[in-house]
Structure 1
Amino acid sequence: MAKNLVSKSLFLVCVLLSSAVVSAQEWIMPTPFSDRNQPTQIAYQFAEDVQAFTDGEVNIQVKSNGHALPHLAIPGAVMAGKVVIGEFLLGLLDKQNSVFQHDMIPFLANNYDDAQLLWQASKADTQYQLHKLGLHYLYVVPWTPYSVFSVRRIDTVADFDGLPIRAFNQTVTTLIQSLGASPVKIPLKDVKSAFEQGKLEGRFASLSVGEDSQIWDYAPYLNDLRIWIPKEIVVMNKRAYDQLDEKTKAAIDKASIKAERNGWIETKERVETDLASLKDGGIVYNQPSSSLLRELERINQRMTKAWVEQDEKQNGGIYRAYREAQRQSQTTH
């Protein structure tokens, strides 16, 4: 009898353990950039928080630096459910709907206060369009400001003439063409070799990516235009999210709120340290001329107008809400 009780107890323990293993969810999370970049570091912390907040029921394995999927392939993979969760530049979706173009219109929001106001103004419409694509929004992390790294000094808009610059979405392609430069599509992993082969001579990149990739070795000039502050977005396949129980959803939402809050705070703190590291590495630092800034402002006005006119209700509403938030912020301060 005792032997039978022990056997039954062991059987029940094995069943319980087996059930726990089956119920635990293991997700691969592809991210495009290396471990030293702030969005990737936030992703690792997010994965730890999800595991803790779900009591180990959801385990996320972050695959950084494009090791799981190339950057441009991540949005489609999450939409199709090939991966449950992924991170990518929000602006990569700019062909899906014009709302996503707001993230990379030059000078629309090129400081952190304005970038946050723009995100708050655009967030609801962005989430709505993400849902239509089968994506569930979790959080965003801003980059340090994007500037132009190049093989030569850029003082005026004429210096962009014919310059081959990496283009990675339609909005950036439009900007490159507006500058008189030549857009070139090169995969992220091939950027350095493209510079070495002369296929690229310029690149829009954040200060963090420039510092991390030791960009001074192949594009030694930093033309510190600070054109925009784009966002990395983390999304889930919407169907996968909707199938989760309410407790798990709440835990993931809690981790997402923490990730986004920390992302805005910590990335802003990295601007000066990244800039110092670039200079220590040997970058040739160049402040933009007033004439170049004026030309960029004219491009901003044209691109903003074109963006609003694509969808007056949606994009126009975002733009007016953003400008009103700016006005109120200036009045408050």
Structure 2
Amino acid sequence: MHSIRRRELLAATAGLAAAAIAPGAAQAQTRWQVATAYPDGNFHTRNLREFTDAAQAASGGLLQIQVHSNASLLRMPEIKRGVQTGQVQIGEILLSAYGNEDPFFEVDSVPMLVTSTAMARKLADLQKPYVEARLNRQGLSLLYWVPWPPSGLYTNTPVDNVDALRGTKMRTFNALTNRFATLCGATPTLVQQAEVPQAFATGVVNAMVTSAATGVDVQSWDFCKYFTPIGFTRTKNAIFVRQRDLAALPAAVQASIRAAAAAAEERGWAMSDSETVSQQAILAQRGMTVAAASPALMQGLMRIGATQAEEWVAKAGDEGKRLIESYRAAVA
């Protein structure tokens, strides 16, 4: 039934962009579809719905936007391509999951490069022109992006140092977490968020590094005993629109969408910081042990992060070197 429903939804969205483009039809209502892989309770999805509601209201009835959450229309690996081909008009992705496509999509996933909100904002400001240029070449336009709360280690035994991770089967979600697991001596396995509970239940993985928000989403207390906050990264979700569809709207509506996106970005950053506290509290309330990382663990993580930063610069070339140098100068 799910696959049939999904095919029906995809068929229904096909051609919507073309139908909305003609200048003569500018006063007719335009229907947009939005695809995200995250569940309705996640703060990213709540923020996305606020954004689409605001954009819809500001259009004066010209734009109707429907959000398809929890990968109900497209799975996360399909979303970016789905926007490029016009299956949907707006998509939300974990940008670093596309690091194999371009290293500038994944710089915020270099472990221990960013360990505070202030540092995350500096990196985002410097990273944005590079990302926007790359998306523009693909017919996409960045609307806004919002970071996840800082990550922690989910395990069933205490982690006092990096060696405690050796031999674990670690869930990863992009190329850099894959490399991180390898450098820890763990076996990396790529698992999408919606599939995490099953992966733990079947023994495919027995450890992961991700935010407390994701831990709550997947009810990690059902399969993990310990959450150790480590900072690690502030990876960002990117929300983008197909340029052709945006350009087809009246200029005033385009401006209202941009304004709603700017508000969503500011709101989302604040929500991310709030989630850092509230979601860790939920993990503790559900019986998980939430304990500060030991100095030995943090030292080991910083060594791995330095190695991965060097590897990222080697992959990203001169532009990547300039970005990292500018960032380090800004946070010094």
TM-score (normalizing by structure 2)? 0.88
Contact 2:26/2:250 (8 A) holds in 1: no
1:129 partner SS: helix
Give the distance between the partners of 2:305 and 2:69, measured in 1 at CA.
33
Give the distance between the partners of 2:62 and 2:290, measured in 1 at CA.
48
Partner of 1:145: 150
Partner of 2:19: none
Decide which of 244, 247, 253 is 2:249's aligned counterpart.
244
Decide which of 124, 133, 140 is 2:138's aligned counterpart.
133
Give the distance between the partners of 2:316 and 2:193, measured in 1 at CA.
31
Gaps of 5+ in 2: 1-23
Shift of 1:20: 7.9
Greater Cα shift, 275-284 or 265-274: 265-274
Larger radius of gyration: 1
1:141 partner SS: strand
Partner of 1:86: 91
Partner of 1:226: 231
Give the distance between the partners of 1:206 and 1:292, measured in 2 at CA.
18
Identical pairs, percent: 27
Decide which of 61, 70, 77 is 1:65's aligned counterpart.
70
Give the distance between the partners of 1:262 and 1:74, measured in 2 at CA.
23
Give the distance between the partners of 1:312 and 1:28, measured in 2 at CA.
37
Partner of 2:274: 269
Shift of 1:163: 1.0
Partner of 1:289: 294
Contact 1:32/1:87 (8 A) holds in 2: yes
Gaps of 5+ in 1: 1-18, 328-333
Counterparts of 1:71-220 in structure 2, within 5 Å, are 71-220=76-225
2:162 is aligned with what amino acid?
A: V
Decide which of 26, 29, 33 is 1:28's aligned counterpart.
33
Give the distance between the partners of 1:317 and 1:246, measured in 2 at CA.
36
CA offsets, 1:17-63, max 9 Å, x none? xx989821111211111122111111010011111111121121111
Greater Cα shift, 312-321 or 199-208: 312-321
Contact 1:71/1:188 (8 A) holds in 2: no
Contact 1:207/1:275 (8 A) holds in 2: yes
Shift of 1:313: 2.7
Give the distance between the partners of 1:311 and 1:20, measured in 2 at CA.
44
Decide which of 312, 319, 324 is 1:319's aligned counterpart.
324
Give the distance between the partners of 1:152 and 1:63, measured in 2 at CA.
37
Gap change, CA 1:186 and 1:212, over 3 Å in 2: closer
Give the distance between the partners of 2:263 and 2:234, measured in 1 at CA.
20
CA offsets, 1:204-257, max 9 Å, x none? 221112123321111221121121111111011223223333222111111110
Q: Does 1:39 align with 2:44?
A: yes
CA offsets, 1:98-118, max 9 Å, x none? 111211000111211100010
1:40 is aligned with what amino acid?
A: T
1:311 partner SS: helix
1:33 partner SS: coil
Give the distance between the partners of 2:59 and 2:48, measured in 1 at CA.
16
Contact 2:126/2:327 (8 A) holds in 1: yes
Give the distance between the partners of 2:157 and 2:38, measured in 1 at CA.
25
Gap change, CA 1:21 and 1:250, over 3 Å in 2: closer
